[in-house]
Amino acid sequence: MLQCTRTIRLGDKKIMVMAKRQSLLLVSTCSLVLATASLIGCSSQSKANGGPDQGAAQAMPVKVQTVSAQKVSDFTEYLATLKSRRSSVVQPQVDGQVTKIFVRSGDRVSAGTPILQIDPLKQQAAVNNLEANRESRLATLQLAEKELQRRRQLAAAGVVSKQDLDQAQTAFDAARADVEGLAAGVREQRVQLQYYTVKALSDGVVGDIPVRVGDRVSNQTVLTTLDQGGELEAYISVPADRAGDLRRGTPIEIVNGEGAVRTTVSFVSPRVDPETQLLLIKAAVPNKDGRFRNEQVVHARVLWREVERPLIPVTAVSRVSGQTFAFVAEQNGDKAVARQRAITVGEIMGNNYVVLEGVNPGDKLITGGVQMLADGMPVKPQA
């Protein structure tokens, strides 16, 4: 190449420069081949000396737990309405205009406490009129009694006839009957007058009072409610096709945001509603802590039987395209790998799913980091 360089003219300098570039490229290529061979030799020496294999995939540490079967309830959940046997709706027994309200919503009252006043003036006038008529008839009765005594004396002396005495007796009896009838009418109207003051029939807490002073009410108007609290009763409607599975003593769980209260069926209706084909059942609901309210709608679980099912944590479950999956650690030779299984889950109990299919007792369930796993990935199980 040196000889070629010397014989090339200045005008051909470009050709000489290209020759130098080709030489540099050849040198660079030789250097890369030597470096690669050196790395391969080092890698081979490292493997021969027991060093780590850089090409092998690293096992991912995962937490696992052994799946165990536990007793769970096979149940169906329905809506239930809670009702109190110690609650009452307050309605007036007379029509009229409200003139005064003695209590406020939320007040605790005892039996006989006045709640509301309806204008009694018209009724009071009727009572006064009857009492006046009674006084008039009472005077007539007194006169008839004196006349009867006089006729008796005259009849004894032979002055008047027996007929006159009988007439005096009849007049006295009629006057006395009139007085007694008016007295009964006065008593009735006085009792009616008491209805214009609406009173609590039992102890309890006053509910909402929808009426106001000046409103006109009738015997169909709801004035308020009185609740004594305590035990409630759950009304549950169950499809008729489950009637054969229901009996007194069947376990029921009443569920709300604070947990579940366990009770049993206390009543099973002997007949099915012909329109809805639903069967009414009832269950007593303890309520000492006051967590439930009258007329509250809650979820009720009718527990048909108890079966053993695997339970797995919610965090161990993943969903892909509507399908539920879980990973279990399986041995593949001397290594552990993650296997993805399609599972069918039931209800959530606490922080666990009830597994119906896909995972069996004794499986090593991977409980953490399932979003980073793939089927067949090497894993390193940790308790």
Question: Please, is 326 exposed, middle or buried when counting C-beta atoms within 10 Å of its C-beta (0-12, 13-18, 19+)?
Answer: buried
How far apart, in whole angstroms, are the C-alpha atoms of residue 285 and residue 264?
Answer: 9
Q: What is the pLDDT of residues 230-239, one digit of tens each?
A: 889 999 999 9
Q: What is the pLDDT of residue 205?
A: 92
Sign, CA dihedral 178-181-187-189, equals negative
- The arithmetic mean of pLDDT across residues 184-196, rounded, is 93
CATH domain 93-225 topology? Helix Hairpins (1.10.287)
Q: Answer whether residue 166 shows pLDDT above 70.
A: yes
Which CATH code fits 60-70+308-382? 2.40.420.20
pLDDT band, very low/low/confident/very high, at 1 (cuts 50, 70, 90) = very low
Q: Answer whether residue 227 shows pLDDT above 60.
A: yes
Q: Answer whether residue 50 shows pLDDT above 80.
A: no
Q: What is the pLDDT of residue 149?
A: 92
According to DSSP, the β-strands at 60-66 and 87-90 are unpaired
pLDDT band, very low/low/confident/very high, at 180 (cuts 50, 70, 90) = very high
Q: What is the pLDDT of residues 106-145, one digit of tens each?
A: 999 999 999 999 999 999 999 999 999 999 999 999 999 9
pLDDT band, very low/low/confident/very high, at 26 (cuts 50, 70, 90) = very low
Q: Answer whether residue 375 shows pLDDT above 80.
A: yes
Q: Answer whether residue 49 shows pLDDT above 50.
A: no
Q: In what order do the strands lie in the sheet with 87-90?
A: 87-90, 224-227, 204-206, 108-109
pLDDT band, very low/low/confident/very high, at 82 (cuts 50, 70, 90) = very high
Which class in CATH covers the domain with range 76-85+228-306? Answer: mainly beta
* Of 33-37, 55-59, 184-188, the least confident: 33-37
Cβ-contact 315, 367 below 8 angstroms: yes
Q: Answer whether residue 79 shows pLDDT above 90.
A: yes
End-to-end CA gap in the chain: 72
* Choice between 18 and 246, residue whose per-residue pLDDT is larger: 246
Q: List, as own/partner pairs, every contact residues 173-180 make where C-beta atoms lie below 8 angstroms and the sequence separation is at least 24, other chains included.
A: 174/144, 175/137, 175/140, 175/141, 175/143, 175/144, 175/145, 176/141, 176/144, 178/137, 178/140, 178/141, 179/134, 179/137, 179/138, 179/141
Highest mean pLDDT among 2-11, 126-135, 250-259: 126-135
CA nearest to 228, candidates 168, 275, 294: 294
| List of residues 6+ apart from 382 with CB closer than 8 A | 61, 62, 63, 64
* pTM of the shown model: 0.56
Q: What is the pLDDT of residues 272-312, one digit of tens each?
A: 999 999 999 999 998 888 888 888 999 999 998 878 889 88
Domains of the chain by residue range = 2-48, 60-70+308-382, 76-85+228-306, 93-225
Max CA distance (Å), the chain:
194
Q: Answer whether residue 333 shows pLDDT above 90.
A: no
Q: What is the pLDDT of residue 7?
A: 42
Q: What is the pLDDT of residue 327?
A: 92
Q: What is the pLDDT of residue 57?
A: 61
